[in-house]
């Protein structure tokens, strides 16, 4: 155990991980040095959009309130200070006068603030365009680690194709992301923001033929816990669809609205409270 990277009660008061490097898990001055651990141990060495954005947000606070804690969890901003967005600067800075047929598409990328909230009007176009670059380069997770450094011509081609697709399906280029990106479970559909690599994640692929982004992944089980020195912890939770995998259950899709609204429900480890509110109490045979 003593050969593994470990953190014990860091002075800054938090430890975090978003599937990023363990050598970036606390405030900068307390992080372990990766040079002290052999690379053959296989640790991740890269950050991602979530780890960078978490640091952006956590450094804004001294002591953090419960509501601020939840706001961080539900954040859907792609950080401008990470390689993923930085590598796309040539796309965002294209000279629209050189490409008059897609000047409106280029303008959308110019105005996008890198937010993936469901109400964002530029995110759907930007995401569908970026996915084409990922497909062209074969980069998925590598895009987050290494960026999407490609020549302007590929961006021009991708913007032109996305414009064609959006005009076909929507007759416009700007549409709220939550109207395009949806999550469906047993006949119930909700609109979602996010991409796979934001703190409130949603994973989808732009379907150019259908004009949709159907979420197939993202947040699954969410649990927020507040501990005290006495008594049981205070807990809020969420299961992205519902607690049941049985289609006939009322709990198969009854938490989807909570997910779409970035809300959680209170839960308890108090047995008396559980029994008091139980719909059914039985003993397995």
Q: Point out the domain boundary residue: 73, 91, 123.
A: 73
> Model confidence over 6-28: pLDDT tens digits?
999 999 999 999 999 999 999 98
Domain holding 109, by residue range, is 83-218
The most confident of 122-126, 145-149, 241-245, by mean pLDDT: 122-126
- State the chain's mean pLDDT as an integer: 94
Separation of alpha carbons 215 and 256, rounded Å = 12
Angle separating helix axes 66-73 and 49-58, nearest 10 degrees: 160
Q: Which uninterrupted H or E stretch holds 271?
A: helix 271-276
Structure tokens at 66: 């419960």
Residue 256, exposed/middle/buried by CB under 10 A (0-12, 13-18, 19+)?
A: buried
Same domain, 46 and 88: no
Q: Is residue 180 part of a domain?
A: yes
Q: Give 78-135 pLDDT, tens digit per residue.
A: 999 999 999 999 899 999 999 999 999 999 999 999 999 999 999 999 999 999 999 9
Q: Average pLDDT for residues 159-180, to the nearest whole number?
A: 98
Containing 216, the helix (H) or strand (E) segment is: strand 212-218
pLDDT tens for 253-269 read: 999 999 999 999 999 99
Within this chain, do residues 188 and 261 fall inside the same structural domain, yes or no?
Answer: no
pLDDT at 80: 96
pLDDT of 38 strictly over 90: no
**Distance between CA atoms of 29 and 8, rounded to whole angstroms?**
14
Confidence at 61, pLDDT banded by 50, 70, 90:
confident
Please tell me the predicted confidence (pLDDT) of residue 156: 97
In the DSSP assignment, the letter for residue 240 is S
pTM: 0.93
Same domain, 203 and 227: no
The mean pLDDT value for 206-225 works out to: 96
Output Rg (C-alpha) for the chain, integer angstroms. 22
Instruction: Give the C-alpha separation, 68 to 241, whole Å.
Output: 25
Q: State the CB neighbour count (10 A cutoff) for residue 63.
A: 6
The pLDDT value recorded for residue 4 is: 86
User: Are residue 235 and residue 214 in the same domain, yes or no?
Assistant: no
3-state secondary structure of 270: coil
Same domain as 45, residue 17: yes
Q: How far is CA 265 from CA 85, 254, 271, in A?
A: 34, 12, 17
Structure tokens, 208: 């150019």
Strand partners for 236? 224, 266
Cβ of 48: how many Cβ atoms within 10 Å?
23
Instruction: For residue 223, give the H/E element and its range.
Output: strand 221-226
Q: Are residues 61 and 90 in the same domain?
A: no
Helix axes 103-111, 152-169, angle to 10 degrees: 100
Residues 6 and 95 in one domain: no
Same domain, 54 and 159: no
Whether residue 182 has pLDDT greater than 90 = yes
What is the rounded CA–CA span in Å between residue 96 and residue 105?
9
Question: Is 92 part of any domain?
Answer: yes
Answer whether residue 281 is part of any domain: no
Residue 282 lies in a domain: no
User: Count of domains in the chain?
Assistant: 3
Using an 8 Å Cβ cutoff, are 30 and 12 in contact? yes
Residue 263 is predicted with a pLDDT of: 97
Give yes or no: residues 91 and 190 share one domain.
Answer: yes
Q: Which residues are registered as beta bridge partners of 145?
A: none
- C-alpha 76/C-alpha 50 separation (Å) is 9
């Amino acid at each position: 155990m003593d050969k593994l990277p470990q953190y014990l009660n860091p002075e800054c008061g938090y430890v975090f991980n978003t599937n990023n490097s363990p050598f970036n898990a606390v405030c900068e001055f307390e992080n372990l040095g990766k040079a002290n651990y052999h690379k053959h141990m296989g640790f991740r060495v890269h950050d991602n959009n979530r780890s960078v954005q978490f640091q952006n947000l956590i450094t804004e606070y001294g002591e953090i309130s419960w509501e601020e804690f939840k706001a961080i969890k539900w954040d859907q901003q792609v950080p401008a200070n990470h390689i993923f967005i930085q590598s796309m600067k040539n796309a965002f800075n294209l000279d629209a006068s050189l490409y008059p047929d897609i000047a409106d598409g280029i303008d959308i990328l110019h105005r996008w603030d890198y937010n993936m909230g469901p109400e964002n009007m530029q995110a759907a176009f930007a995401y569908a365009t970026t996915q084409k670059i990922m497909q062209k380069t074969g980069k998925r997770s590598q895009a987050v680690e290494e960026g999407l450094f490609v020549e302007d011509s590929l961006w021009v081609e991708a913007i032109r194709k996305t414009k064609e697709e959006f005009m076909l399906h929507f007759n416009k280029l700007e549409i709220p992301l939550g109207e395009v990106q949806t999550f469906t479970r047993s006949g119930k559909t909700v609109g979602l923001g996010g991409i796979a690599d934001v703190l409130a994640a949603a994973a989808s692929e732009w379907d150019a033929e259908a004009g949709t982004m159907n979420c197939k992944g993202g947040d699954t089980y969410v649990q927020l816990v507040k501990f005290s020195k006495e008594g049981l912890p205070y807990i809020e939770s969420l299961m992205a669809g519902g607690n049941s995998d049985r289609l006939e259950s009322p709990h198969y899709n009854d938490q989807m609205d909570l997910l779409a609204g970035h809300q959680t429900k209170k839960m308890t480890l108090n047995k008396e409270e559980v029994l008091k509110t139980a719909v059914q109490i039985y003993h397995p045979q």
